[in-house]
């Protein structure tokens, strides 16, 4: 088994269930959990992208607009600062939508091994692997096991 990383889990979570044809589409129809988990992965990727944009733009503001010397109200009034605050609001929307999806996923049972693997993948995205490295590796191994089981003919 190749090494699974948090980034691979996020990437695979969004791509696998929502392929428009073949077994993946049938699996998504058979297990609605797959659609919600894929959406969660999409939100996580979007949030990561927004956070990188935020960091890049904050650095630009610091270099070009004396950003760190300005008060909060001066920062808010600065036309160039409005973009940073818009990115902030988009990040907050992603966080809120992710929390709503987690609540929905708690009450929706997985109907397939792929759905169970997808739910565990959401957990793998949400937790910090540094907190419990051995348990995190076990979680990734379990996800891989379920993915193998979901591909076996019944």
Residues 111-122 have a mean pLDDT of 93
The predicted model gives 134-141 an average pLDDT of 95
| pLDDT for the residue 28 | 59
- Minimum mean pLDDT among 23-37, 103-117, 118-132, 140-154: which range? 23-37
Q: How is the chain split into domains, by residue range?
A: 6-151
Over 80: is that where the pLDDT of 74 sits? Answer: yes
Mean pLDDT across 45-62: 96
**Tens-place pLDDT, residues 12-28:** 554 444 443 455 566 55
Q: What is the pLDDT of residue 150?
A: 82
* pLDDT recorded at residue 30: 82
pLDDT of residue 19: 40
d(CA 118, CA 121): 5
pLDDT at 102 (0 to 100): 95
| pLDDT for 123 beyond 50 | yes
Q: What is the pLDDT of residue 152?
A: 77
pTM of the model: 0.76
* List of residues 6+ apart from 62 with CB closer than 8 A: 68
Q: What angle do CA 46, 115, 8 make, to 5 degrees?
A: 45
Mean pLDDT, all residues of the chain: 85
Q: Once rounded to an integer, what is the mean pLDDT over residues 92-103?
A: 96
The answer to whether residues 39 and 101 touch, using CB atoms and an 8 Å cutoff, is yes
């Amino acid at each position: 088994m190749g090494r699974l990383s948090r980034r691979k889990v996020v990437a695979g979570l969004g791509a696998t269930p929502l392929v428009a044809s073949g077994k993946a589409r049938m699996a998504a129809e058979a297990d609605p959990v797959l659609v919600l988990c894929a959406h969660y992965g999409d939100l996580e990727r979007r949030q990561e992208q927004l956070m990188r944009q935020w960091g890049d733009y904050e650095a630009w503001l610091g270099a070009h607009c004396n950003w760190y010397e300005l008060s909060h109200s001066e920062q808010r009034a600065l036309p160039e600062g409005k973009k940073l605050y818009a990115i902030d609001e988009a990040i907050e929307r992603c966080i809120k939508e992710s929390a709503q999806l987690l609540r929905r996923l708690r009450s929706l049972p997985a109907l397939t091994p792929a759905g169970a693997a997808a739910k565990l993948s959401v957990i793998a995205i949400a937790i910090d692997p540094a907190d419990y490295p051995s348990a995190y590796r076990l979680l990734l191994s379990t996800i891989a096991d379920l993915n193998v089981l979901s591909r076996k003919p019944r």
